[in-house]
Amino acid sequence: MTKRVLVTGGAGFLGSHLCERLINDGCEVICVDNYFTGRKENIEHLIDNPKFELIRHDITFPLYVEVDQIYNLACPASPVHYRHDPVKTTKTSVIGAINMLGLAKRVNARILQASTSEVYGDPIVHPQSEDYWGNVNPVGVRSCYDEGKRCAETLFFDYQRQHGLNIKVARIFNTYGPRMHPNDGRVVSNFVVQAIQNQNITIFGDGMQTRSFCYVDDLIEGFIRLMNSDPSFAGPVNLGNPCEFTMIDLAKKVIDLTSSSSQLIFLPLPQDDPRQRRPNIDLAKELLKWEPMIDIEDGLKKTIDYFKG
């Protein structure tokens, strides 16, 4: 029987790749987006596919559809966008989660929450494993996103305990690839766009803070495996690439791959910006048989080609 799958935030960076993958796997996909950060051009190539349906909708309002699975990806995910409207960001995470969990309960669907490594805050444990509770500022400029996602996780596990809902929670670490928004303020898209245009590459802080970068196709594979994993495993589970880079290393790699004449300039570090971020993915390896396959150089080349296009 063909699975009917709802993807909220389906016109966004991750959502569009997920919609595409699900259709290729033979599913019928309902894509929901309010275009706060999602873009129609991300899913234009799917519009005429008979297995694809597009609904303009904001998940802070209830939605009534019949589906077998729900991937809840809707939420601004970059500091530029979530600081633009922090109240909206929190409402999308919290009220959106309540509405999607209510839908899952009504139609008895399995539901996956796209959570984030931001639930770990500025971590004092390194690398971060799922049993670490985090070090989060509840009243800072990033709190709308960090605490919104933490509250969404709480709701998911309470719906599981109280209503027996079949839930999955993925904690997504830095992900990059084609269809990233060019102006979303995320480090890979920033560096690539600046390098292609031979502009100065802006590094915040001293550039020695680290991130680990997962190519989008690898992350989507992790989503699919988690959604279809044993019902007894809800997560949370880290999905990301454990290969760690300083910002300076990443900038130099982008300059090299673009043959750019860009120079590095350094600006003050934003408030609550984490110094280190790297996932421990032992749980994903053990229970999902998942780990990233695409190395940073191959992934960056594909991303650079997209932005050049």
Q: Which residues are catalytic?
A: 145
Tell how many helices (H) and how many strands (E) occur in the chain. Answer: 9, 13
Strands 244-246 and 210-212: antiparallel
Q: Rounded to an integer, what distance in angstroms lies between the CA atom of residue 147 and that of residue 159?
A: 18
Q: How far is CA 17 from the centre of its chain?
A: 11
Buried b (16+ CB within 10 A) or exposed e, 84-102: eebebbbbbbbbbbbbbbe
Tokens 């803070």 belong to residue: 209
Structure-block tokens of residue 184: 């979303």
Q: Which residues pair with 111 in a beta bridge?
A: 70, 167
Task: Name every residue whose Cβ is closer than 8 Å to that of residue 105 and which is 6 or more positions away in sequence.
Answer: 159, 163, 165
